[in-house]
């Protein structure tokens, strides 16, 4: 009997059948930290999960207290017009999500229900609403800042937190379709942005060390779409516009980007006509904290019950 026949002959889970160890996602679901839906990358969060997320947000607020950042909060959606201005579809058409609604009359409603009844696709009975899901937490702030006119002399820092949507279904719990990004965004002269990014690369690593997480920082690129995208990604790396703080989270996979440190040069300043006090085009940059990924990294390295985590880690999170 060859090995293949042997595995087929054994009953599933029976004596001798080596059960594969549960994946990290299965472990999180079994522990009740995340709740499954029938969509990959869309999960409910437990009270424990949320208390860790709150602790992280509080720690990030504490670290950024000297930034005199303006706090701006948006629901996780933006206007289609602003979304178009951002040119997101040029770079990441594969990730964007749009909101559609039923806008018809009673006949249309009957047609819609009949489609569902017949188990046919009903979504073509929906029409675009002019609302697009936010792809990155900083996107909604640029039109707001642009409308105010030129930036103050010293530039500006904004504090944002938003659920974001990206269509990247995955079985890795670190790659969700809806997740939170906390960001500090800096707008000002190139020198201001470069200094801001260096400051936050240092602070991000210090936070990771305070949380007793194994980490490394490396140059990175965004997942630009298509063949042209490869060229843009290569140049982004060459110019060192994006760095990521990486932590091993998923078994047998390369480490996961849990924070990113980005220099957009004048990309958003030019798209949105954000001016410097002296008349030049504003440069921008941001530090992004992946809230879910950091929670998942903490649970991975310190265990599924925060009550058993090292005291210093719990204190950094404000006593979760
Ligand atoms: P990746 O390269 O892993 O796709 P990214 O470089 O596209 O991530 P950014 O656009 O820099 O990520 O987003 C900032 C942070 O948001 C990331 O460092 C990460 O922590 C978090 N993040 C990005 N995509 C996801 C996702 N699909 N699920 C959970 N967190 C995410
Ligand atoms: Zn950003």
pLDDT exceeds cutoff 80 at 1: no
Regarding whether 223 and 296 lie in a shared domain, the answer is yes
CATH value at residue 142: 3.30.930.10
Does any ligand 1 atom lie closer than 6 A to the CB of residue 258?
A: yes
pLDDT exceeds cutoff 70 at 7: no
- How sure is the predictor about 15, in pLDDT bands with cuts at 50, 70 and 90? low
Regarding whether 269 and 163 lie in a shared domain, the answer is yes
Model pTM score: 0.93
The 8-class DSSP code of residue 222 comes to -
- How sure is the predictor about 18, in pLDDT bands with cuts at 50, 70 and 90? confident
In a domain, 112, yes or no: yes
CB < 8 Å & 24+ apart, contacts of 194-203: 194/263, 194/285, 196/157, 196/285, 196/287, 197/243, 197/261, 197/262, 197/263, 197/285, 197/287, 200/261, 200/287, 201/243, 201/245, 201/261, 201/287, 203/63
Q: Whose CA is nearest to atom 25 of ligand 1?
A: 175
CA distances from 202 to 144, 192, 197, 295 (A): 29, 16, 9, 20
Cα separation, 192 vs 200, in Å, equals 12
- Cβ 144 vs Cβ 157: under 8 Å: no
- Cβ 35 vs Cβ 47: under 8 Å: no
Domain boundary among 73, 107, 132: 132
- Cβ 214 vs Cβ 248: under 8 Å: yes
Q: Which atom of ligand 1 is nearest to the CA of 183?
A: 14
Regarding whether 260 and 185 lie in a shared domain, the answer is yes
Regarding whether 163 and 244 lie in a shared domain, the answer is yes
pLDDT exceeds cutoff 80 at 25: yes
The C-alpha R_g of the chain, in whole angstroms, comes to 23
Regarding whether 158 and 115 lie in a shared domain, the answer is no
Section 291-301 average pLDDT: 98
Section 134-152 average pLDDT: 97
In 67-153, which residue ranges form alpha helices assigned H by DSSP? 80-85, 88-91, 106-117, 141-147
pLDDT exceeds cutoff 70 at 2: no
Q: Whose CA is nearest to atom 11 of ligand 1?
A: 260
Section 216-222 average pLDDT: 96
Domain boundary among 132, 152, 184: 132
Among 200, 253, 288, 292, which residue has the most ligand 1 atoms within 8 Å of its CB, making it the best to mutate? Answer: 288
Q: Which residues surround ligand 2, an ion (CB under 5 A)?
A: 138, 286
Among 137, 171, 293, which residue has the most ligand 1 atoms within 8 Å of its CB, making it the best to mutate? Answer: 293
pLDDT exceeds cutoff 70 at 262: yes
- How sure is the predictor about 3, in pLDDT bands with cuts at 50, 70 and 90? very low
Q: What per-residue confidence (pLDDT) applies to 16?
A: 58
Which contiguous run of DSSP H or E holds residue 3? helix 3-9
Regarding whether 205 and 56 lie in a shared domain, the answer is yes
Q: How many CA atoms lie within 13 A of 276 on its CB side?
A: 16
pLDDT exceeds cutoff 60 at 49: yes
In a domain, 224, yes or no: yes
- How sure is the predictor about 252, in pLDDT bands with cuts at 50, 70 and 90? confident
- How sure is the predictor about 114, in pLDDT bands with cuts at 50, 70 and 90? very high
In a domain, 142, yes or no: yes
Q: Whose CA is nearest to atom 27 of ligand 1?
A: 175
Domain count, the chain: 2
Distance of CA 90 to the CA centre of its chain: 19
Domain boundary among 111, 132, 153: 132
Regarding whether 204 and 71 lie in a shared domain, the answer is yes
Regarding whether 115 and 209 lie in a shared domain, the answer is no
Regarding whether 193 and 125 lie in a shared domain, the answer is no
E-only strand ranges, 138-241 = 156-165, 178-188, 216-219
Residue 119 lies in domain: 99-132
């Amino acid at each position: 009997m060859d090995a293949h026949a042997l595995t087929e002959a054994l009953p599933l889970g029976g004596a001798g059948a080596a059960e594969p160890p549960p994946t990290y996602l299965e472990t999180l679901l079994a522990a009740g930290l995340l709740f499954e839906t029938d969509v990959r990358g869309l999960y409910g969060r437990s009270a424990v999960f949320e208390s860790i997320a709150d602790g992280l947000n509080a720690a990030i607020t504490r670290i950024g207290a000297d930034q005199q950042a303006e706090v701006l909060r948006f629901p996780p959606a933006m206007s289609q017009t602003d979304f178009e201005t951002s040119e997101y579809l040029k770079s990441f058409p594969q990730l964007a999500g749009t909101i559609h609604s039923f806008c018809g009359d009673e006949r249309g409603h009957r047609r819609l229900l009949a489609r569902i009844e017949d188990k046919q696709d009903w979504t073509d009975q929906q029409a675009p609403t002019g609302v697009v899901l936010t792809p990155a937490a900083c996107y909604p702030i640029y039109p707001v800042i642009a409308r105010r006119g030129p930036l103050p002399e010293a530039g500006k820092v904004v504090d944002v937190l938003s659920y974001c949507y990206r269509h990247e279904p995955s079985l890795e719990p670190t790659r969700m379709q809806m997740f939170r990004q906390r960001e500090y965004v800096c707008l000002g002269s190139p020198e201001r942005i470069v200094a801001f990014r260096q400051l936050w690369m240092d602070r991000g690593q210090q936070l990771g060390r305070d949380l007793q997480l194994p980490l490394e920082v490396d140059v990175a690129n965004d997942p630009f779409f298509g063949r042209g995208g490869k060229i843009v990604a290569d140049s982004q790396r060459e110019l060192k516009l994006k760095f990521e703080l990486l932590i091993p989270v998923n078994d047998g996979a390369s480490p996961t980007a849990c924070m990113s440190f980005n220099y957009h040069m004048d990309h958003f300043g030019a798209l949105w006509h954000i001016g410097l006090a002296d008349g030049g085009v504003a440069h921008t940059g941001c530090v992004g904290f992946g809230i879910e990924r950091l929670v998942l990294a903490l649970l991975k390295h310190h265990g599924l019950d925060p009550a058993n985590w090292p005291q210093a880690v719990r204190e950094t999170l404000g006593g979760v």
